[in-house]
Chains A and B, each alone.
Chain A
Amino acid sequence: MKMHVKNRNVAIIGIGQTSFSSHKEDQNQAEMVQEAVIRALADAGLKIGDIDCIVHGNMELFEMQFAPDLWHSLGTGAYGKDEYRITTGGTTGATLVCAADNLVASGLYNTVLAIGMEKLQEGNTTGGITNMADPLWFRNLQTGALTGTTAQEMIDEFGEERAKRAAMRYRIMMDKHAMLNPRAHRRFGLEYSQMEDLMANSPPLVGELRLIHMCSQSDGACAMIFTSEEKVKQGTKNPPVWIRDHIQIHREETIPNLFGFNKPEVTHHYAARTLFARNGIQDPVAYFDVFEMYDPSAWWAVDWLREFFLLKGDEHLRMLEAGDFDLDGRIPINPSGGVIASNPIGATAMLRPAEAALQIRGDAGGHQIKKEVRHALASGFGGTFWSVLMILEKELNWQEVSHD
């Protein structure tokens, strides 16, 4: 893959989030969007007039409201500005960040505001997801984002007891992180002593995927402001966080092809090895200080840690069991509580780089990692295993790596 050539460096200079919950009856969609936008502007110390371009994203079928960018313009501040709309499933939020990064890097705009939102309470999420499947082929069998196949594969590979304990340990770890994040939607107060009970008694959804393993359905919005290195040099209210590189990987559309005898390379693995190679990162576990991962379920999360960190065999399980992914571990995963705690879908994949950037700034609040965060990784996931992966940096000092 060719080098991702950036015309100029791009920094995140403003971040705004709403709280996440399953109940936002008191706000309409535009008002919820605006809450995030106003917070992002305040965080950046900017006014809406300082924004050159707006990128807006959600999934229309989740709210069943067509052309939401039109209706949200009261909240986005798009009045009289250039605006783009992005809708790429679960990856929407990450694609928004990639687009904003590219729009600033290209030199077309200096300062870009990206907004991801979803109000899942208003619609029928699983119905919406079902309608994304090929109507001729797969729609009648689709079960939204629920699948038990990864659980079965892990049980086959590592044995039932170890695999189930790993998934539940991850789940409880996420809840412990979410308890530190007042914005998170689901904060249950789970304890590791509940593992056996939850493994046996949480209602099953599909195979060994149980209700407790699965992500939430949330309402909420996230807004981020991006600007160029030249603008940053004129001064920013908060420290800038640099987007070093990002990669977006799509794959063939038919999910069944994942389940033949010969499995294709998982998109996450392809994205990770390509991105790390072109940035000269040999050992991602050692290099990164935090990873905000799009984790739709505890089973997927554990499995994907192996893919993203290019680990072999049971290395990822051993790291999980040793507490390496805990908030004070070697490479903390999702201090925010992740997607399992809060999942306003169009904003979800944007919350990953947003939370990673807050960690770099030291502004994450209750769920701030204690050691210094200089290098952060953030991922997005959606569609039929689309993958987005990006590297955020505290300092503008990374080595350019030459490529063919």
Chain B
Amino acid sequence: MTEYFGTTVADIFATMPKRFKPEEAKEVDIAIGYEATGEGGGKWKATIKHGTLKVETVEGELTDCKTTIHTDAETFVGVTLGMIGALDALSSQKLRVAGDPKFLMLLLPKIFTPYVAPAKKPDAVTARDIIATLAERFRPEKAEGVAMTIGYDLAGEGGGRWTIIIRDGKCAVREGLADPLTVKMTMEAKTYAGMMVGTIEAVTAFTSGQVKIEGDMAAAGATAKYFRKYVVPGATEAEELISLRVTNSIEQRFATGPVMGRWFAGIREKKFLANRCPKCGRTQIPPREICAWCRVRVHEFVEVGPKGVVTHFDIVYFASPDPLTGAVRDTPYATVYVVLDGATEREAITVDLKKEDIPRLKEGARVRPVWAEVTTGSYRDLIGVELDEEEGSL
């Protein structure tokens, strides 16, 4: 099987049952289809039902799946390991989800423990693998003003001949040995691999004659610092990086003050109270002490609405988690901008539209308020608006 980031797609599905958390999936009833294209890919189906999990490989079409994930094998492994951001993969369309991607992004981490790639045995890494990562491990900031060509003549399995060219803050790797070379190093491929993964000590290898150096000795010694350390793919890195997860929770109390408070006093009585600027005549919603355009104090309150006209709307398909509960709203939902009857034309209010009315929503639609059963003088008193179709639309 083809490996990406040291892991195969099949590894990930094989470990699914072990990573499953039945207690977190008691309420879940879903079949998820997976299609990974390219080398090492295939089709899988995971059926999760009331705390049970069945994983199967699928030949032919994926059927009876509530949601399916389509991607190439490399992206699938990368996203699973956290090497590729799921949102980035979705944005670039390398990962496609039929169904609600946000739902999966919240569900999967809850019911599965993360996949961890098994550590690859260091001796499975060849010199060729390591040479292939040289250019990306290059540290231009360490090689300012450096110009050299380094030859590697590595004998045996996984070996070969390469030339590393460092010049103008760039690094290039070429097959074969260039002439002239600043320095040439000759050794067994497995000695090179051993030094790079840390199983063979470099000084010992040099002094014991396992490594033959021709040319500039000092240059040979300096090469290491131009590259980041090689890390065996999938190995639990030498470096453990600590992160602390916390939720800072702060209770808050917000005062309306007497002017905006009139709005809330109004909606407690199921009325909309705006205040009218004595200079420009606009009905400020929400009411504020000062008209910010005219910079004069505003005293007069007028009742507007209760019905109004939709000027703009947003249909939201991708709900953000509620910062208080982490819960996600049912999508799609509609946020509408409404100019209430009697309000001046710029003063729209923003409210939710009743879900059933979304398919018939149009700009210019007439709407009427939907009130909470018990009103207390808070924004929660106004649940939203619904289409007022008896009157027809504009």
B208 within 8 A of A: no
* Residue A106 lies at the interface, judged by CB distance under 8 Å to chain B: no
* Contact-residue size bin, chain B (C-beta under 8 Å from the other chain): 35 or more
Partner among B90, B93, B256, B316 whose Cβ is within 8 Å of the Cβ of A146: B316
Contacting pair B88 A22 (CB below 8 A):
yes
Please name 17 pairs of A and B residues whose Cβ atoms are closer than 8 Å in the assembled complex, sorted by A.
A25-B243, A64-B248, A127-B320, A141-B352, A148-B314, A149-B312, A149-B314, A188-B91, A190-B92, A201-B93, A203-B101, A204-B318, A216-B88, A254-B285, A259-B312, A260-B339, A261-B345
Interface string of A180-209 (1 = CB under 8 A from B): 000000101010001001100111111100
Q: How far is the CA of A264 from the CA of B314 in the complex (A)?
A: 19
Decide: A207 and B88 in contact? CB cutoff 8 A: no
Measured between alpha carbons, how far is A216 from B97 in the docked complex, in Å? 19
Residue B87 interfacial (CB < 8 Å): yes
Interface centre among B90, B264, B314 (most CB of A within 10 A): B314
A228 within 8 A of B: no
User: Is A49 on the interface with B (CB-CB < 8 A)?
Assistant: no
Interface residue? B203 (CB, 8 A): no
Contact yes or no, A143 B350, CB < 8 A: no
Q: Which residues of chain A come closer than 8 Å to B313, judged between CB atoms?
A: 149, 152, 207
Q: Digitize B233-274: 1 where CB-to-A-CB distance is under 8 Å, 0 elsewhere.
A: 000000101010010100010101000100010000000000
B310 to chain A, nearest CB (A): 10
Using Cβ atoms and an 8 Å threshold, which residues of chain B touch A153? 312
| Pairwise interchain contact A130-B323, C-beta atoms closer than 8 A | yes
**Interface, chain B (partner A; CB < 8 A):** 82, 85, 87-88, 90-93, 96-97, 101, 239, 241, 243, 246, 248, 252, 254, 256, 260, 264, 285-286, 292-293, 311-321, 323, 335, 337, 339, 344-352, 379-380
A140 on the B face (CB < 8 A)? yes
A256 in the interface, Cβ–Cβ < 8 Å? yes
For residue A136, CB closer than 8 A to chain B, the reply is: yes
Classify the secondary structure of B's interface with A.
Answer: mixed
Q: Name the A residues within 8 Å of B318 (CB-CB).
A: 146, 203-206, 211
Q: Which residues of B contact A203 (CB under 8 A)?
A: 90, 97, 101, 317-318
A348 CB–B CB distance under 8 Å:
no
CB <8 Å contact, B314 and A207: yes
| Chain A, range 201-235, C-beta contacts under 8 Å to B | 201-207, 211-212, 214, 216-217
A186 touching B91, Cβ below 8 Å = yes
List which A94-153 residues lie within 8 A (CB) of chain B. 124, 126-128, 130-131, 135-138, 140-141, 143-144, 146-149, 152-153
Residues in A250-268 with C-beta less than 8 Å from chain B: 252, 254-264
Is the Cβ of A256 less than 8 Å from the Cβ of B317? no
Given known contacts A146-B316, A261-B345, A25 and B241 CB-to-CB distance under 8 angstroms: yes
Quote the shortest CB–CB distance from A202 to chain B (angstroms).
6
Question: Chain A residue with minimal CB distance to B352?
Answer: A141
Q: A204-B318, A212-B92, A259-B312 are in contact. List 15 more A-B contacts (CB 8 A).
A: A25-B241, A25-B243, A126-B320, A140-B379, A148-B314, A152-B313, A186-B91, A205-B317, A206-B318, A207-B314, A211-B91, A256-B348, A260-B347, A261-B311, A261-B339
B65 to chain A: closest CB distance in Å? Answer: 17
Check A256 against B337 for contact (C-beta < 8 Å): yes
With the chains together, A254 CA to B287 CA distance in Å? Answer: 11
| Complex contacts, B320 vs chain A, CB 8 Å | 126-127, 130, 143-144, 146
CB neighbours (8 Å) of A254 from chain B are: 285-286
The answer to whether A161 has its CB under 8 Å from any CB of chain B is no
Q: Are B321 and A127 in contact (CB under 8 A)?
A: yes
> Is A259 touching B311 in the complex (CB atoms < 8 A)?
yes
Interface size class on chain A is 35 or more
Chain A residues whose C-beta falls within 8 Å of the C-beta of B350 in the assembled complex: 138, 141, 255-256, 259
Which listed residue (A135, A186, A201) contacts B252, Cβ 8 A?
A135
Q: Is A26 an interface residue (CB 8 A)?
A: yes
CB-CB nearest in chain B for A134 = B286
Chain B, residue nearest A255 (CB): B350
Tell me the bound Cα distance from A23 to B84 in angstroms: 9
Contact B348 A143 (CB under 8 A): no
A195 CA / B289 CA spacing, docked (Å)? 49
B93 and A198 within 8 A (CB): yes
Contact partner of B92 (CB less than 8 A), chosen from A124, A143, A188, A262, is: A188
Q: Which A residues are CB-close (under 8 A) to B348?
A: 256-260
Asked whether B379 lies within 8 Å of A136 as measured between CB atoms, the reply is: yes
Residues of A within 8 A of B248 (CB): 64
CB-CB nearest in chain B for A142: B320
Which A residues touch B241, using CB under 8 A? 25-26
Q: How far is the CA of A89 from the CA of B147 in the complex (A)?
A: 45
CB distance from B371 to the nearest CB of A (A): 16
Contacts of B246 in A (CB 8 A): 64
Q: How far is B319's CA from A184's CA once the two chains are assembled, in angstroms?
A: 27
| Complex contact A127–B286 (CB within 8 A) | no
Residues of B within 8 A of A131 (CB): 323
Q: When chains A and B are docked, how far (Å) is the Cα of A140 from the Cα of B323?
A: 10
Do A141 and B351 have beta carbons less than 8 Å apart? yes
Q: Pick the 7 closest A-B CB pairs, nearest first.
A: A127-B323, A259-B337, A260-B346, A261-B345, A188-B92, A126-B320, A205-B318
Q: A26-B241, A135-B254 are in contact. Are A262 and B346 (CB under 8 A)?
A: yes
Cα distance A137–B285 when bound, in Å?
A: 10
- B101 CB contacts on chain A under 8 angstroms: 203
Contact A143–B335 (Cβ < 8 Å): yes
In angstroms, Cα B317 to Cα A146, docked, is 11
Cβ–Cβ contact B96 & A201, under 8 A: yes
Q: Is the CB of B315 within 8 A of A207?
A: yes
